[in-house]
Amino acid sequence: MVRVGLLTSGGDCQALNAAMRGVVKGLSNNIKDLEVYGFFNGYKGLIYSDYRLLTSTDFSGILTKGGTILGSSRCPFKEMRTPDENGLDKVEAMKSNYYKLNLDCLVILGGNGTQKTANLLREEGLNIIHLPKTIDNDIFGTDMTFGFYSAIDVACDAIDRIHTTAASHNRVFIVEVMGHKVGWLTLYSGIASGADIILLPEIPYEEKYIIDAIEKRNQAGKGFTVIAVAEGAISKKESKLSKKELAKKRAKETHPSAAYRIAKLVEEKTGSEARVTVPGHTQRGGSPCPYDRALCTRLGSAAAKAIIEGKFGNMVGIIDGETKLVPLEKVAGKLKVVDPDSKMIKEAKYMGISFGDEDV
Residues serving a catalytic function are 136
**322 burial type by CB count under 10 A (0-12 exposed, 13-18 middle, 19+ buried):** exposed
CA within 13 Å, CB half, 200 = 24
Nearest to 93 by CA among 81, 102, 108: 81
- The continuous run of DSSP H or E covering 295 comes out as helix 290-308
Nearest to 316 by CA among 28, 110, 80: 110
CA angle 338, 284, 337 (to 5 degrees): 10
Residue 240 per-residue DSSP state: T
For the chain, how far is it from start to end, CA to CA, in angstroms? 63
CB neighbour list of residue 70: distance below 8 Å, 6 or more residues apart:
6, 7, 8, 20, 38, 39, 40, 41, 45
